[in-house]
Amino acid sequence: MVCFMPGFVIQRESVDLDAWDKENDRLKKLLPNDTAKVDQEIAEWRKAHPEPRRGTISDMTDHVDHIRNVAGIDYIGLGSDFDGFRGGIEGLNDVSGYPTLLAELLRRGYSENDIDKILGGNMLRVMEALERK
């Protein structure tokens, strides 16, 4: 299930997320009983380390392409995880962005059968196989 968390999809986001996590951990150790000060310091850190440009539908489609190339079309589903991270992919903030993502997949040569698999067919196949066990 493809997660739409930018830090999983785009290298520059992953690097930024790691740096933010390290600074946040450092500050929490330095100021263990002062969450307000940690928040203030992390805001100052962010000013000196601006967030990278948000990912795009094209970046997300590159990610799906990578998964298809590594694992195959029969192992892709959309997991999104919209509620589990800060910021998101531009144009893919909620399910209303799915048509744009699917249009880009079609433009890149995915078949309608491929799209059916991604949108739930693969998950149903796995669940049906599990029911038979």
Same domain, 102 and 41: no
Total of domains in the chain:
2
H-helix segments, the chain: 6-9, 11-30, 35-48, 57-71, 98-107, 112-116, 122-132
Tell me how many degrees the CA angle 12-83-19 measures, rounded to the nearest 5: 30
Q: How many beta carbons lie within 10 A of that of residue 112, not counting itself? A: 9
Same domain, 31 and 58: no
The model's pTM: 0.78
pLDDT in tens, the chain (133 residues): 898 888 888 888 889 889 999 999 999 999 999 999 999 999 999 999 998 888 899 999 999 999 999 999 999 999 887 776 666 788 888 889 999 999 999 999 999 999 999 999 999 999 999 999 8
**Torsion sign (Cα): 27, 31, 32, 35:** negative
Same domain, 58 and 116: yes
**Type of residue at 16:** D
Domain region containing 28 = 8-48
